[in-house]
Structure 1
Amino acid sequence: MFLQNVFTSYIFLVLGLFHVCHAQHITTSLEGRLAFPNKTPFNITTKITLNSGEYTTYSRKDGSFIIYDVPPGVHQLDIDSKAYHFGQIKIQLLEESMDSPKCLEYAYPGAPKRVVKYPLVIYAKGTYEYFETKKGVSIFGMLKNPMVLMMLFSVGMMVIMPKLMEGMDPEEKARMKQQMEAQKDPTQMFSQMFGELTGSSEDQTAAGTTRRERREQRRVKNQ
C-alpha cells in the first residue's frame, strides 16, 4: 500500500512537471506592419519593443515585423520612432487562442482604446517636428510691427496734410506749421503745450503777428 501511494505521488509529480514545462514552452510569434494612412511606402527601419524592452525587433523596409517566442499573457507593444508617432498596442495572448490574440490600440496616453485586427497594421498618427519652420515674408506680419505702423502713419500724414491745409485760413495754416515744426523739437512742443494750458500761447501768437505787420510796414516805407 505504501509503495502504491509513493508510485501514485510520483506519477502526479511527473505529470505536474510535464504540464509546467509544457506551459512554459507554449509560445507564438507576433506579426504586424507599420504603415501610413495615405498608403505611402514606409521605407524606414524602426525599433519595436514588447514589454518595455523584454523583446526587441526591427521593422523591415516595407514596415513589416515579427516578434518570436512570445508566451501567453498581456503584452505592451511600443514603436520607438524618432520621426513618426505611433499608438501603443496592448496584446492579450491566451493559451487556447495563441494564433488570434486580442489587440487594443491607444493613440496616445489617456486616449480611448480602439480594437484593432490581427495581424497588426499600425498607422502613423503624425510626425515629430524638432525645428520651427522658417516663416516667409508676410504683409500681415509686417503690419503688426509698430515701426511699420508709425512709418505708414507718417507717410499718410504727409499726403493728407497738404490737402487739409488747402481749405484752411492763413492763421490756421501758420499755426499748423508751427505745431509741425514744434514736433521736430520735443522741448519746443512741450513748451507750446504748457503755453496752451496757461493761455500764454495766444499772446505770443499775437505778438508774433504784430511784429510781422511792422516788418511789412517797414518794407512798404522803404519802397
Structure 2
Amino acid sequence: MRQRLSVIVGACFALLGATADASSTPAAVTDVCGRLRLPDDSKLNTTRITLDDGEYTAYTKEADGSFCFYNVGPGVHLLDVQSNHLLFSQVKVQLLNDAMDDPKFVEYPYAGAAKFPLTKLILTAHASYEFFQPKPGFSPFAMLKNPMFLMMIVSVGLMFVMPKMMEGLDPEQQEQMR
C-alpha cells in the first residue's frame, strides 16, 4: 500500500514538472496577413475571413481587401472566406515551429480539384452567387402540368362525348339508362 502511494505521488510530481516546463517556454506565434481580390479589381465590401472554423476571425479593413490574423500558433490551419456575394477558394496555412516567418499556403479551388501552392496569400474570387432567378413568363403549356386542369379537360371532354355515345345505343338500352 505504501509503495503504491509513493508511486502515485511520484507520478504527480513528474506530471507537474512536465507541465511547468511546457508552460515556461513561450509559444511561437506569428501574424498571417493576406489580401482578397476581385477579378475586375473593383472595391470589396467588408468580408469575414475565418481560420480554423472561427477560432480566429478577421475582416477586410481596407477597400483593397487586406486582412490579418494576429498571434496564430503553429500547425495546419484552414482559411475560409465567408462572403454573401462572392465565392473564394479554401486555403490551408501551414505554420511550422522552426519556420514561423515563412508560412506555406495551399489553395483548394473546389472539392476534388488539384491543389495549388501560393507564395503570397492573395485570393481571387472565382464567381459571384446568383440567389434570385427571374420569374418565368406565362405559358399555356404550363397549365397542362396542373392536375386540376387535366381533370377539367377530361370532364369537359366527357360532356361532349357522352351524348354522342348515347345516340349510338339501341332505344331499349337508352330507356334502361334513363
TM category (shorter chain) comes to 0.5 to 0.7
Q: Which amino acid aligns with 2:110?
A: Y
Q: CA RMSD in A?
A: 3.4
Check if 1:187 corresponds to 2:149: no
Q: Secondary structure at the residue paired with 1:99?
A: strand
| Alpha-carbon shift at residue 40 of structure 1 (Å) | 2.6
Please give the TM-score of this superposition, normalised by the length of structure 2: 0.62
Equivalent in the alignment of 1:5: none
Decide which structure has greater strand share.
2
Equivalent in the alignment of 2:135: 134
Aligned residue pairs: how many?
139
| Alpha-carbon shift at residue 32 of structure 1 (Å) | 0.9
Equivalent in the alignment of 2:99: 97
Higher relative contact order (CA 8 A, sep 6+): 2
Structure 1 gaps of 5+ residues are 1-12, 148-183, 199-223
Instruction: Find the aligned partners of 2:24 and 2:47 in 1 and give their Cα distance.
Output: 36
Task: Calculate percent identity across the aligned residue pairs.
Answer: 36
Instruction: Find the aligned partners of 1:143 and 1:185 in 2 and give their Cα distance.
Output: 23
Decide which structure has greater helix share.
1
Aligned residue among 37, 49, 65 for 2:67: 65
Give the 5 Å matches for 1:41-190: 41-42=43-44, 44-60=45-61, 61-118=63-120, 120-135=121-136, 137=137, 142=139, 144-145=141-142, 185-190=160-165
Instruction: Find the aligned partners of 2:37 and 2:127 in 1 and give their Cα distance.
Output: 11
Taking a change above 3 Å as real, the CA distance of residues 190 and 116 of structure 1, as seen in their structure-2 partners, is farther
Choose 86-95 or 126-135, whichever is displaced more.
Answer: 126-135
Taking a change above 3 Å as real, the CA distance of residues 143 and 68 of structure 1, as seen in their structure-2 partners, is same
Please list the CA deviations of residues 109-133 of structure 1 after superposition, one character each: whole Å capped at 9, or x if unmatched. Answer: 4443222221x11122223333333
Q: Which amino acid aligns with 2:103?
A: P
